Amino acid sequence: MRSFCILQQQKQELYLPNRIIIKSYIMKIKYLFFSLIFSILYMSKSAAQYLPLYKNIPNYIDAINEEVITNDGILRIGKVSIPGYQYFRAANDTIKRPCVIICPGGGYGILAASHEGTDVATFFNTIGVNAIVLKYRIPSKAHQVNKSIAPLQDAQQAIYMARTNANEWGIDANKIGIMGFSAGGHLASTAATHFEDVKVTNPINTSYRPDFQILIYPVISFTSYGHKGSRDNLIGPVISEDQVHYFSNEEHINKNAPPAFLVHAKDDGAVPVANSINYYKQLQENQVASELYLFEKGGHGFGMKNNTSEVFWPELMQQWMQKNKIIDIKP
């Protein structure tokens, strides 16, 4: 059965293909509850520092670290040349839990590290899922020999770290997924489609295939309907057709692609909804378990809460994770 569905609001009710009607006031209460939990958890973890992703950074030019951090309600990190990570463990016990590697968006120019990073990690903790927020490198010829592969190297290294530290970190090594927002969604989908093209050292033959992928208003393609800013920042200014096709991830889906959950708004003016739709179609054609949820409105960059809708999409993601046996019904 095809899992494509469209979110539509009619008279303050949400109609899903399985004919379940979710009342808007219930969704509001649940969102307020999750917001309170986020605030409590984030206050306890926001002071955490990013830990080094590598002992020796590959593809690295030693130059002045010009990293810039701004916060106007959204934490943005720019000019990242030294990659790192924050690990959010759901519980300090002996249970092996799923883990999601989160790639914030920002057009490969900055990282929107709070509403597309740490806020999301705290939500995952509330449903019993570990999370890693990835501070991946911003492509730069001043800091990388080959800037186009630096973010992918960092995503692959994060997968490697999660797998090789699974026992110590309380991670189920068979349930390590990758998630991304906007350009972070491009990075996540690149990791999910190019896992056989390993760009980092792999001394113990670890699998770099994510076990699932979660893509939120993602950049997928570098063709005509892609996002020019992300494309130019990653592979510009001189762009070859080979690079365009290599990083147009809808062209690289096969039957081994990880299961996928996607969210997009139909009125997204920055990253056209065709990115998610065409990726979803290729997943379906290759019989890869996948679901796509489309908001009528919401634009781009809404993070976890689309303020034009009563729908709290992370709850739908949680249901998808349960259905695909990534998490238990009751974490």
SS3 assignment, position 131: strand
* Average pLDDT in the chain: 89
pTM: 0.89
- Encoded tokens for 196: 């056989």
Bridge-partner residues for 134, per DSSP? Answer: 85
Query: Residue 138 in contact with residue 79, Cβ under 8 Å?
Result: yes
The single-letter DSSP state of residue 149 is G
**What span, in angstroms and rounded, lies between the C-alpha atoms of 154 and 136?**
6
Radius of gyration of the chain from its Cα atoms, rounded to whole angstroms = 19
Cα–Cα dist 276/214, whole Å:
11
Q: What is the pLDDT of residue 330?
A: 64
Q: Where are the beta strands (DSSP E) in 41-96?
A: 51-52, 68-71, 75-78, 84-88
Position 278 confidence tier, pLDDT thresholds 50, 70, 90: very high
Give pLDDT tens digits for 240-262: 999 999 999 999 999 999 999 99
Q: How confident is the model at residue 48 (pLDDT cuts 50, 70, 90)?
A: low
Please determine, for residue 107, whether its predicted confidence score (pLDDT) is greater than 80. Answer: yes
Q: Among candidates 62, 155, 65, which has minimal Cα distance to 108?
A: 155
- Asked if 284 and 235 count as a contact pair (C-beta separation under 8 A), the reply is no
* Per-residue pLDDT reduced to its tens digit, 182-205: 999 999 999 999 999 999 999 999
Per residue in 127-170, pLDDT tens?
A: 999 999 999 999 999 999 999 999 999 999 999 999 999 999 99
Cis before 104? omega within 30: no
- In this prediction, residue 329 has a pLDDT band, given cuts at 50, 70 and 90, of confident
85: Cβ contacts below 8 Å, ≥ 6 apart: 50, 51, 53, 132, 133, 134, 135, 158, 161
CB 84 within 8 A of CB 54: no
**How is the chain split into domains, by residue range?**
5-323
- Per residue in 25-45, pLDDT tens? 455 455 555 555 554 444 444
Tell me which fold the domain 5-323 belongs to: Rossmann fold (3.40.50)
Instruction: Report the percentage of the chain scoring pLDDT > 70.
Output: 85
Helix (H) or strand (E) holding 103: strand 97-103
What pLDDT is attached to residue 142? 96
